[in-house]
Structure 1
Amino acid sequence: MSQISSRTYAVCAGACFSLFGTFLACSAEADVVEGRIRPVVDRTIKGLMTENGVAGMAVGISVDGRRFIFNYGLADKEKATPVTADTLFEIGSVSKTFTATLGAYAEAKGALALSDAASEHMRELAGSAFDHITVLELGTYTAGGLPLQFPDEVINNSTLTRYFRGWRPGYEPGTYRVYSNPSIGLFGTLAAASLRKPFPELMEGTLFPALGLTNSYIRVPEAEMGDYAFGYNKKNNPVRVSPGALDAQAYGVKTTAADLLRFVEANIDTSGLESSLQKAIGATQTGYYRTGDTFQSLGWELYAWPATLDTLLAGNSSDMAMKPHAVTPLVPPQKPAEDVFFNKTGSTGGFGAYAAFVPTRRIGIVLLANRNYPIPERIKAAYSILGMLEAVSQDERHR
């Protein structure tokens, strides 16, 4: 065996010590950043939980590529199980941002075009109103007035098809935004049909792995059920989401704070993703319609940043979710400004979620809770924390 020269050893040792020193410096910097972040997050979240009767929460923070996860309270009150890094939460309609990404990915792969008529990808809809409604209009809730929820009689594929075939728009497609689970649900169904695989399989077998998500599910495996939190309804009874028509596409994702934060970080910086996914995320970050200060993209809602708290509260209000709003088509599609704030809320019967980020400022936040607490409280908490993150980011860049 050849001998290692003293000079080579010295060079190697020097490199090792240099790398170790760099590690210590980075670790120290992260500790300093966390030292600034944690008190604000603790104060904000603990107060929010107390005021709204939330049993457990997980908060993910991203600032300049550094990731911080904060866990609070209980995932299961009966067993006194704490929220941990592995706790799975239902994220409700934040799932729509994943569905939107899959649809945009299908377009990037050449399987469909957002301008296609919906019936091109579901032959059962041929001869219906969906001959004149585009995939894009479904993905942006502008199909002409599809309702927030399906009627009670829609319980299986047969009644689902019958409902869509018999439905008639109340507005000219592309003129009004009416927030709708059936609309985004059909969008996701068409995307899956174009890729020739079932929707859950595409999410769990293609999209989640491509995004680097290892603890995200449509169907929680039996082996992971111990990490699946219980939600708590208004009577404080433990609940989990019930099956429903197109539930997977509209509100079906269960995930951890770390995984949802990775998704946010993939939206902040797409450089580590394969080209089709980069293109897809670009499509979900473009405004296609505008109503007031809100730019509607696929899944995400966009605002010029900095935005006032009142602007974000208005854009995430029950009025926006429950009532029709006239929209202006954006031709060509565009963002509201150079600096853009992206957000999406989500709820099920026992869970409340929120995700928001500003790519140009390299800041993002996710809030996961096992209670469907008021949306304005989520916006206020995230807005306060993001303001602090922006100050931390600016300070770090000037160091």
Structure 2
Amino acid sequence: MNRIFAAKTGLIIAGSLFIGSFSWASDEQNNPQIDALVNDTIKALMAEHRIPGMAVALSVDGKRYYFNYGVADQAANTPVTADTLFELGSVSKTFTAALGAYAQASGALPLNDSASQYLPALEGSVFDDVSLVELATYTAGGLPLQFPDDVQDEDEMLDYYRHWQPDYAPGTHRQYSNPSIGLFGYLTAQRLGEPYAALMEEHVFSPLGLEHSYLEVPEEQQPHYAYGYSKDDEAVRVNPGLLDAQAYGVKTNTADMLTFIEAHMDSSALDETLRETLETTQMGYFSMGDMTQALGWERYAYPVTLDQLRAGNSLEMALEANEARRLQPPLPASQDVWFNKTGSTGGFGAYVAFVPSQQMGIVMLANRNYPNQARIEAAHHILTALMDTP
């Protein structure tokens, strides 16, 4: 597929141009037009939002382009490289979704079953009437963004779920929620009978060839684990929390994330179970305006405008309950869709997007939590500059 590139970047560089380290990964492709497009866009983004380091990667027609900027550790002046590990924040939810979809594809966990069916502690609670797919799509009835502060351990967590009362009927409103998809991942592990981290490695990371993706970064990989930076430039990493692995716990690099989205764009080389797994995560279950909630991923009909992406990734969509329309049957996995997911922790900001029909995708990993709207604008600018020739 031939491509042409827009002549203008469409972005104004704020202040002085960020000058940092820049390096290539071993399997990168070299294209001066892509280099200029990405460098101009990302350097402007980093300057405006004071981002210490970023790793950006593109997949275009099966070719990979890697870009690494700035530092992973300001105190040690360690440059970002192709090996640098970043916290994904809520992009981790796409992996939780994949594990749950694997459990369904393998016959262990039908997603339309009630949540309480897989945890005796929830029997007789409102989760008798909440399905697993409603947990995975934040439509259980209004579970909050985070657990209340007084929920500190697993016993208190289960007690919280047992006594929780929904604000809405299940399947009528979407309320973005770590406890919602977190419980989905927890119940998946309960059903499969192994620790969540072991299941993720066995059924998602390893089969997809993700060799540098972790829930707990091993000792030998610690030198590659970036520090995140708070708004006050304090070096931070994510703190432990209830269901953190399921909701925001993955650490990885751009090569593994490209492998992950390339498998979503073309799963023909995978076995039948894994193909079904990824297709299940891409199906559309509930719609809210132009955005459709898949499992982990959020999807938009392609081509998509920047305004549509802004609306679907707005604070209102993240922090408020939004009326949702159940899609019956769910929308199938489709080629003409823009899939995306944002993710943040206290010191990191991530954005991932891909369009199967265009065979193009982008991974943007940064060690500062900067506004979602800025991530989306930069990614949309880069990807829409990659256009089919007439």
Match for residue 356 of structure 2?
359
AA of the residue aligned to 2:379: A
Distance in 1, matches of 2:281 and 2:203, equals 18
Conserved? CA contact 2:89–2:348, under 8 Å: yes
AA of the residue aligned to 2:246: Q
Write out aligned runs for 1:201-216 (5 A): 201-216=198-213
Q: Segments of 4+ in structure 1 off by > 4 A?
A: 335-338
Identify the match of residue 188 of structure 2 among 187, 191, 210.
Answer: 191
Match for residue 375 of structure 1?
372
Match for residue 4 of structure 2?
none
Distance in 1, matches of 2:29 and 2:141, equals 49
AA of the residue aligned to 1:70: F
Distance in 2, matches of 1:343 and 1:324, equals 20
Identify the match of residue 220 of structure 1 among 205, 217, 232.
Answer: 217
Distance in 2, matches of 1:154 and 1:277, equals 36
1:314-373 deviation per Cα after TM superposition (whole angstroms, max 9, x unaligned): 100000000001111101111597611000000000000000000011000010000000
Distance in 2, matches of 1:336 and 1:382, equals 22
Distance in 1, matches of 2:255 and 2:334, equals 29
Conserved? CA contact 2:29–2:64, under 8 Å: no
CA shift for structure 1 position 70: 0.7
1:229 paired with 2:226, answer yes
Identify the match of residue 76 of structure 2 among 76, 79, 97.
Answer: 79
Match for residue 113 of structure 2?
116
Write out aligned runs for 1:112-191 (5 A): 112-191=109-188
Conserved? CA contact 2:114–2:130, under 8 Å: yes
Identify the match of residue 384 of structure 1 among 357, 381, 385.
Answer: 381
CA shift for structure 1 position 190: 1.1
Identify the match of residue 99 of structure 2 among 102, 105, 115.
Answer: 102
Distance in 2, matches of 1:40 and 1:97, equals 28
Normalized per residue, the structure richer in helix is 1
Match for residue 299 of structure 2?
302
Deviates more, 1:34-43 or 1:232-241: 34-43
SS in 2 for 1:217: coil
CA shift for structure 1 position 105: 0.5
Distance in 1, matches of 2:270 and 2:347, equals 33
Q: TM-score, normalised by structure 2?
A: 0.91
Write out aligned runs for 1:197-276 (5 A): 197-276=194-273
CA shift for structure 1 position 256: 0.2
Distance in 2, matches of 1:284 and 1:206, equals 14
RMSD in angstroms over aligned alpha carbons?
A: 1.5
1:86-143 deviation per Cα after TM superposition (whole angstroms, max 9, x unaligned): 1000010000000001100000001110111101111111111111100000000000
Conserved? CA contact 2:104–2:111, under 8 Å: yes
Identify the match of residue 350 of structure 1 among 344, 347, 351.
Answer: 347
Conserved? CA contact 2:279–2:333, under 8 Å: no
Distance in 1, matches of 2:163 and 2:100, equals 25
SS in 2 for 1:350: coil
1:341 paired with 2:338, answer yes
Conserved? CA contact 1:304–1:336, under 8 Å: no
Identify the match of residue 59 of structure 1 among 56, 75, 85.
Answer: 56
Conserved? CA contact 2:282–2:333, under 8 Å: no
Conserved? CA contact 2:280–2:333, under 8 Å: no
Distance in 1, matches of 2:374 and 2:29, equals 28
1:263-282 deviation per Cα after TM superposition (whole angstroms, max 9, x unaligned): 01111111121211110111
Distance in 1, matches of 2:139 and 2:35, equals 41
Conserved? CA contact 1:75–1:82, under 8 Å: yes
Conserved? CA contact 1:204–1:218, under 8 Å: no
Distance 1:37 1:298, change over 3 A: same
Match for residue 44 of structure 1?
41
CA shift for structure 1 position 30: 4.6
SS in 1 for 2:206: helix
Distance in 2, matches of 1:288 and 1:97, equals 15
Aligned length: 364
AA of the residue aligned to 2:142: G
Match for residue 8 of structure 2?
none
Distance 1:336 1:193, change over 3 A: closer
Distance in 2, matches of 1:62 and 1:77, equals 29
1:229-279 deviation per Cα after TM superposition (whole angstroms, max 9, x unaligned): 000001100000000110000000000011111101111111121211110
AA of the residue aligned to 1:126: E
Distance in 1, matches of 2:151 and 2:269, equals 41
Distance in 2, matches of 1:294 and 1:312, equals 8
Distance in 1, matches of 2:135 and 2:294, equals 11
Match for residue 328 of structure 1?
325
1:289-331 deviation per Cα after TM superposition (whole angstroms, max 9, x unaligned): 1111111110011101111100000100000000001111101
Q: TM-score, normalised by structure 1?
A: 0.89
For structure 2, the 5+ residue unaligned runs are 1-27
Distance in 1, matches of 2:76 and 2:99, equals 37
1:289 paired with 2:286, answer yes
Distance in 2, matches of 1:187 and 1:267, equals 21
Distance in 2, matches of 1:146 and 1:235, equals 31
SS in 1 for 2:43: helix
Match for residue 21 of structure 1?
none
